[in-house]
Structure 1
């Protein structure tokens, strides 16, 4: 379960690792994603435990916050893109943990997405009101997955952290991944460009036990 948590953590952080060259710079707002889970018949019970999972991305200037609800666990990730620091708040099995990482610590960890490339292909759809193109992601281990991306919405500036979407020509609004025999489709359901209150990025100071990342993520 910790391996699955770490992988989801990487996914949620990496969705921000893109260069700003779009028509609209995304400096303030919220994106609401859904997570649909499919599995082989013999693993359907595990898939059912994740049904209805969501994550929400908040952006305001240099600040990012990701709220992820995986049903069996919840986490919040607070990111300061100016100094590349991360604070993770994790709730699982009745326990609440706090974990702090910097960009260098993340870069030193194994990452199957290093060396990823993308090939545009025929296909398009409208997602959350934005026109999207289809690309196929190619991983160094030979696996592939589809990504629908828009060129009309991008974060401000450059954000670097073990980049899952390095080389993609836009912002991913839908993609599919296979994790432990579970096929997960992550889709943006709503994009709200209303200003996000600064209080959204206030990190709780109590109620969590701080843990060492090396011990927790093993």
Structure 2
């Protein structure tokens, strides 16, 4: 009888050990690096040298943050999307000016509704990006040009509802290649590296160095910044 008890205890111990993997081992915490390109900008445009060329996305389960930097650090734009809190934060730094926008779920919903409607055509095509099988979808925007482009997403990275706070909300997977246009600048993001590791809490916090402003004020500031790149 004691023999069977010992075996049972040993099996329970093994299940505990293998069931307690860290978030990084479960592909639920880490950093994704994206290369940034500008498909609608002339390659001869000298302002390309000043545009962001890399974006990093730090994530942990149901929260993630992104960061873009340009002009040797003089310009920095960050986003924090916290599904647990139902909160979206945008932080912008330009030289010595630091502004932040904070939206709750209702504010996020209004923002998405204010953007051109997105039509998604799902396909059976698969593309491998950094060893991950990514499904292809074709996006068509309900704008003046009916812009269309492809995106690739995977369900092999464990971010909970990763697109809840953006226009791709119906896509159930992490986007490893996609396109985004705002302030008259079209940016295409392609994942170049993925590191599963512990992420510092500071990546998901709003620094008190930033002044909170309204959505209208933030749009005005961002438009002025990107106008200078055109």
What TM-score do the two structures reach when normalised by structure 1? 0.71
Question: Which residue number in structure 2 is paired with residue 63 of structure 1?
Answer: 63
Distance 2:185 2:215 in 1: 25
Of 134, 139, 151, the match for 2:141 = 139
Counterpart in 1 of 2:196? Answer: 193
CA RMSD of the aligned region, Å?
3.0
C-alpha distance 31-41 of structure 1, shift in aligned 2 (>3 A):
closer
1:214 to 2:209 alignment: no
Question: Equivalences for 1:112-127 in 2 at 5 Å?
Answer: 112=116, 114-120=117-123, 122=125, 124-127=126-129
Among candidates 156, 159, 175, match of residue 155 of structure 1:
159
Q: Secondary structure at the match of 1:196?
A: coil
The CA deviation string for residues 77-98 of structure 1, in whole angstroms up to 9 with x for no partner, is 2332112122322111431112
Flag structure 2 segments of 5+ consecutive residues without an equivalent. 1-24, 221-230
Aligned partner of 1:100 in structure 2 is 102
- CA 1:74–1:199 in structure 2 vs 1: closer, same or farther (change >3 Å)? closer
Shift in alpha-carbon separation, 1:190–1:210, aligned structure 2, 3 A: same
Cα distance between partner residues in 2 of 1:125 and 1:105: 35
Q: How far off its partner does 1:168 sit?
A: 3.0
Between structure 1 and structure 2, the one with the greater Rg is 2
Cα deviation for residue 177 of structure 1 reads: 4.6
| Distance in 2, Cα, partners of 1:185 & 1:197 | 27
Matches of 2:178 and 2:199, distance apart in 1: 25
Alpha-carbon distance, 1:183 to partner:
4.8
1:111 deviates by: 0.9
- Please give the residue correspondences for 1:155-174 in structure 2 after superposition, counting only pairs within 5 Å: 155-157=159-161, 160-161=164-165, 163-168=166-171, 170-174=173-177
Q: Is the 8 A contact 2:60 2:159 kept in 1?
A: no
What SS does structure 2 have at the residue aligned with 1:195? coil
Q: Which residue of 1 aligns with 2:31?
A: 30
| CA positional deviation for 1:143 | 2.0
What is the alpha-carbon distance in structure 2 between the residues aligned to residue 181 and residue 157 of structure 1?
28
Q: Which has the higher helix share?
A: 2
How far apart in 1 are the matches of 2:160 and 2:33?
A: 18
The 1:40–1:186 alpha-carbon spacing in structure 2 relative to 1, beyond 3 Å, is closer
Distance 1:105 1:63 in 2: 18
Classify the secondary structure of the residue corresponding to 1:47: helix
Q: CA deviation at 1:157?
A: 4.7
